[in-house]
Amino acid sequence: MIIIFFKSMANLFIALTPQKDLDKKIIEFKSKQKKFLVKDADVNWSADNQHHVTLNYIGSMEPEQKEEMFVELDTCSFSYKELPLEITTFSYFPNENGQFLVANIFLSNQLQKLYSEVGEIVARIGFGMTLSSFKPHITLARFKERKRPFLNLIDLEGPVVSSVFSIDVYKSEFKSGKTVHSLIKSIGF
């Protein structure tokens, strides 16, 4: 009998990770939103240590391709030292019929530029999914039913602003029935 072991490739994505101040507010928002949960609604909340804004989902890569991407990202000269992130509203994603609850992020010129730069880097090594329109958000919850699991969505009194100082590369794995994201590299601006 011959047994062949295949080297597993990681599912990777590039994202922005909220700083502790913003992450703490996101956790507070989720706590407030839970008060509007419809009885017996089946909602899977994002883990408190897993919040991020995806810039580019790459998928599986060979280790050599991953290293090439790291080199490209490390040598990119971003024109800023920090990038403001501004939560503006909460909504269903990608539209009113979507099955995700998200915190919407304002698409500033800087964020649009970073999204494009990352897309170009990933495309040069033959990867990347180009979205028809970039709708930056942080996923708060997922649900299977098309029926709305919340009586209302919380309102913000005004935008919630913080900054990020790096882009992060994550590995995504399915463990014990849940998707887990592990930070594998952080690249400062």
Which tens digit of pLDDT belongs to each residue from 65-108? 999 999 999 998 888 899 999 999 999 998 888 899 999 999 99
Identify whether 4 is part of a domain.
no
Q: Which amino acid is at 148?
A: R
> Are the CB atoms for 141 and 91 separated by under 8 Å?
no
For the chain, the first-to-last Cα distance in angstroms comes to 52
99 in a structural domain: yes
Closest CA to 141 of 175, 100, 91: 100
CATH value at residue 43: 3.90.1140.10
Residue 124's domain comprises 10-188
User: Is 135 within the bounds of a domain?
Assistant: yes
> CA 184 to CA 167: how far, in whole Å?
11
Say what the pLDDT of residue 5 is: 43
For the whole model, what pTM was predicted? 0.89
Look at residue 79 and tell me if it is in a domain.
yes
Amino acid, single-letter form, for residue 181: H
In a domain, 174, yes or no: yes
Cis peptide before 159 (omega within 30 of 0): no
State the DSSP code for 123: H
Residue ranges in the chain whose pLDDT is less than 50: 4-8
The Cα 127–Cα 73 span in angstroms is 14
**Three-state secondary structure call for residue 108:** coil
Residue 139 inside a domain? The answer is: yes
Is residue 119 one of the residues assigned to a domain? yes
- Structurally, the chain folds into a number of domains equal to 1
Answer whether residue 5 is part of any domain. Answer: no
